[in-house]
Homo-oligomer: A and B are copies of this chain.
């Protein structure tokens, strides 16, 4: 059983690495279950069994990429993790996600195209819960849930890619910082 689990984990890693390489070298159109299986040295059935379809592959890949980041904002040291004021934690969160999104524009775009309903996606839901929780903590008078959707909408690969193209991706982090500051920096209604 232990050996089987180790095999399964090794296959999973090989499949995700192969997906990543095919995506980086040839783009999304080129990535198919068959090509991933061949590149990973596993049977096609294994890839289908574990990931269902290309959308499943993209979701698994971006979730793996974001897992370290998610641990940092839920349980890591401040200002990203618990212990800092909501305003600082929010800014640290957006800085960190923008850094990952900027380095992985192609993967983020592929993920968005695969997962049509981002509002039902686990990764998005975890981000939304984090952001809306921090807004609600600092400003219980605001509609934290909808405002979190608006702020998180800025992380779409479309805007990130648009700013990257003109060499201006740092502007997104700065703009979100000023939006968070103006939203959370006001006097609270008590």
The answer to whether residues A171 and B150 also contact, given A158-B118, A179-B179, A183-B179 and a CB cut-off of 8 A, is no
| Docked pose: A179 CA to B148 CA in angstroms | 11
Interface of A, helix, strand, loop or mixed by DSSP: helix
Contact A154 B159 (CB under 8 A): no
> With an 8 A cutoff between CB atoms, is A153 at the interface?
yes
Contact of A150 among B143, B154, B182 (CB under 8 A): B154
Chain A residues within CB distance 8 Å of chain B = 117-119, 142-143, 145-147, 149-151, 153-154, 156, 158-159, 162-163, 168, 171-172, 174-176, 178-179, 182-183, 186
Name 23 A/B residue pairs within 8 A (Cβ), A-sorted. A118-B158, A143-B171, A143-B174, A146-B163, A146-B168, A146-B171, A146-B172, A146-B174, A146-B175, A147-B175, A147-B178, A149-B159, A149-B162, A150-B150, A150-B153, A150-B154, A150-B175, A153-B153, A153-B159, A178-B183, A179-B179, A182-B186, A186-B186
